[in-house]
Amino acid sequence: MEIPPIAVLHESRSDATARLFADRRENPADRERIEEELVRINMRVAADATRRFRNRGIATDDLEQVAYVGLVKAVKGFDPDRGHDFLSFAIPTIRGEVRRHFRDLGWTVRPPRSIQETQTKILGCEGELTQQLGRAPRPSEIAAHLGLDLDLVIEALGASGCFAPVSLDATLGEDDDALTQRLGHDDGGFDVAEARAVLAPLLAQLTPRERKIVEMRFGRGCTQAEIGKEIGVTQMQVSRLLARLMTRMRHELSVPRAA
């Protein structure tokens, strides 16, 4: 099924969706055709709802197909007489269908059976509670609805990381979650510290004048002309001095040192 252009959806999706649900109520004999049209104009929304689940080991095309299944269920199950916008019901339903797909096929680390069973119950009631409340249900409301311990519900909701655990070697990014933000990351200071440790013995062997040249050129970023003016030589002489110094220091670095 072809997804309509995003511009058309942006201009007409919400109004068209409300109109079609009204048509469905007034023309029950035409229900199947109307629901097909509702699915068609909301397919872009369903595809966008899979973004948070991508790159977790299941192909994007497969995720979108599962999202379309969730969209069909949302269209068939939505009751506009309750007065809530369709998306407030559809998005949890679609995401629930995608999470169910992960539960069946996408585990990297399998949690205890009690957690898996609780997730199944949560997925089954989230859409209903969302439509009743007009918003996503809180963990405490899910626990009360299911008659489960709140801690168990919270643990089940937090088990989504078992689909694709966060790497302990991962570096920080703008969209990293709280776990990643508590982990270490690459520190540019390590390279500087290593360079200082390697170069310190070599710099100690230089004359004060040579150390000044090196410090001005590589520590302060001075030009050869600025260095020449500071030490009283021409720019050409500075260039030759630097070339000899670099050759000597490279040689020192290449010579194995006794343990």
Residue 129 lies in a domain: yes
pLDDT at 34 over 50: yes
Residues 113 and 218 reside in one and the same domain: no
- Residue 233's contacts (CB-CB under 8 Å, 6 or more residues apart) are 241
Residues 115 and 27 reside in one and the same domain: yes
Residues 124 and 202 reside in one and the same domain: no
Residue 250 lies in a domain: yes
Domain at 220, CATH number: 1.10.10.10
Residues 71 and 129 reside in one and the same domain: yes
Residues 194 and 161 reside in one and the same domain: no
Residues 216 and 157 reside in one and the same domain: no
| pTM: predicted TM-score of the whole model, two decimal places | 0.42
Host domain of residue 49: 6-165
Residues 158 and 200 reside in one and the same domain: no
Residues 145 and 78 reside in one and the same domain: yes
Residue with the larger pLDDT of the pair 135 and 20: 20
Residue with the larger pLDDT of the pair 73 and 98: 73
User: pLDDT per residue over 104-115, tens digit each?
Assistant: 665 555 567 777
Residues 52 and 123 reside in one and the same domain: yes
The total number of structural domains in the chain stands at 2
Looking at residue 166, its pLDDT comes to 52
Mean pLDDT value across residues 37-42: 91
Domain at 81, CATH number: 1.20.120
Residues 241 and 143 reside in one and the same domain: no
